[in-house]
Amino acid sequence: MTVKEGWRGRFFEDFTIGDSYQHPLGRTVTTTDNMWFTLLTQNTAPIHVDHHYAAQTTFGKPLVDSTFTLALVTGQSVTDISQNVFANLGWDEVRLPRPVFEGDTIYSQSEVLQTRESASHPDVGIVTVRTTGYNQDGVVVISFKRTVMVYKRGHAPEIPRIAPGTDH
């Protein structure tokens, strides 16, 4: 049997300005997602959790908490952008041009805007990307710039592996 290592994510050396990554996983947002996230973050705006209230607004139904959208789209980008993260440095220029509703499916992509060496940590580099999230109809619902410190190849912490033929 041949054991092949799974996708380990990109290291600093793998990023090239202008490269674009279509993140592989979409996610349908449920009422439960919206309720739980809103309650966990103590967001008391009734537009997110009170269907009767939301029905009386211009939207006619609950809006998904925008910080959930930010967290979801950031999470979708991890496999391509920050699987080997040393640290997140920030989110900038967060824009929410269209609302997300319960039942929408969100997809995302990222483009590499900048790469540079870290002055304080020689084992990592700094990468800035623009990430865009869009719904099932291709409508952009969020965009933001994100800057992360990413390990250079050979400097990331080791991930334990189970050797073939051993008991687990």
Structure confidence by residue, pLDDT tens digits, 103-133: 999 999 999 999 999 999 999 999 999 999 9
Q: Is residue 7 domain-resident?
A: no
User: How far is CA 40 from its chain centroid?
Assistant: 19
Residue-level pLDDT at 2 = 85
Q: Is 80 exposed, middle or buried (0-12, 13-18, 19+ CB in 10 A)?
A: buried
Q: Is residue 131 domain-resident?
A: yes
Indicate the pLDDT class of residue 137, thresholds 50, 70 and 90.
very high
Residue-level pLDDT at 111 = 98
Residue-level pLDDT at 158 = 87
| pLDDT > 90 in the chain, percent | 88
Q: Is residue 77 domain-resident?
A: yes
Domain of residue 67, CATH code: 3.10.129.10
C-alpha angle 101-29-82 in degrees, rounded to nearest 5: 120
Q: How far, in Å, CA of 82 to CA of 21, rounded?
A: 12
Q: Is residue 167 domain-resident?
A: no
Do residues 54 and 99 make contact, with C-beta atoms less than 8 angstroms apart? no
Do residues 127 and 115 make contact, with C-beta atoms less than 8 angstroms apart? yes
Q: Which domain holds residue 50?
A: 17-151
| pLDDT at 168 > cutoff 60 | no
Q: Is residue 162 domain-resident?
A: no
Q: Is residue 2 domain-resident?
A: no
Q: Is residue 55 domain-resident?
A: yes
Q: How many CB atoms lie within 10 A of CB 41?
A: 13
- The domain total for the chain is 1
Indicate the pLDDT class of residue 160, thresholds 50, 70 and 90.
confident
Indicate the pLDDT class of residue 167, thresholds 50, 70 and 90.
low
Q: Is residue 33 domain-resident?
A: yes
